[in-house]
Structure 1
Amino acid sequence: MSSEHPYPAAFRSGDLVAVSGRLGVTATGAPAPGGFDAECPQAFANLDAALHSVGASRADVVKVVVYLTDIADRDGLNRVYEEFFAEPRPARSCVGVAALPYGGVVEVEALARVRDV
């Protein structure tokens, strides 16, 4: 995603990290070619990159919200979610929406708590 956005990909305040919605876009800013099956794993990869940018990881995530333009993609989302997060997986909401930026079909946001060891 381009740097033209007025918000950060992720924001850390103390031990809390909020990750702004991550679309399934590639470095070009366009959705990963291949529809949901390509965009969903890319959105989670983009979430991972945003977490790392502020010193967090997927293991720190406690809550995820996923937006889908086609709620019928929920089974596919579940498969990607199970591959991305180890047990115990974070809490999750899944919301059907009419449209997403850049013509995307999936967007993922997260809340994490970083526990310094």
Structure 2
Amino acid sequence: MTKREAVFPANRHALYDEHGYSAAIRSGDLLFVSGQVGSRPDGTPEPDFGHQVRLAFENLKATLDAAGCTFDHIVDITTFHTDPENQFATIMAVKQEIFSGPPYPNWTAVGVNWLAGFDFEIKVIARIPSKA
């Protein structure tokens, strides 16, 4: 059985310690990244929605970097939205910057009514590149 290994970005934010979870778990050649939100360094939500989405992707990038991955290694994405109808255009604009062409990763978007003060969260599964 493959042992899980915790992965944290270099400047891990306070939410990991406060809530007792890992930024990501490496299991074999897969990386399971916990939901990343648009938090400030102290763990509080960024109030501007567009900036909150960008910060969530920045936090995701930092976690991927810590495992030797990039956005290109993502195979599956799940996002959570507190107001999908009104937020989708902003989210899609950021998504298009990051994933500008095919092949695109799988993506499931879920509307929710609570994200602990946040309005957007993104979790992913990535394949860790071999070091050959």
- TM (norm. structure 2) is 0.81
Is 1:109 paired with 2:123? yes
Distance in 2 separating the partners of 1:94 and 1:77 = 11
For residues 26-105 of structure 1, what are the structure 2 equivalents within 5 Å? 26-34=40-48, 36-72=49-85, 73-87=87-101, 88-101=103-116, 103-105=117-119
**Greater RCO between the two (CA within 8 Å, min separation 6)?**
1
Deviation at 1:5, TM superposition (A): 2.6
TM-score under structure 1 length normalisation: 0.90
Cross-structure match for 1:9? 23
- Long gaps (5+) in structure 1: none
Alpha-carbon distance between aligned partners in 1 of 2:108 and 2:89, rounded to the nearest angstrom:
14
**Could you say which structure has the larger radius of gyration?**
2
- Identical aligned residues as a percent: 36
Aligned pairs, how many? 115
Is residue 33–residue 39 contact of structure 1 (8 Å, CA) maintained in 2?
A: yes
Separation in 2, partners of 1:79, 1:50: 22
Q: Tell me the secondary structure at the aligned position of residue 32 of structure 2.
A: strand
Contact 1:10 / 1:53 at 8 angstroms: preserved in 2?
A: no
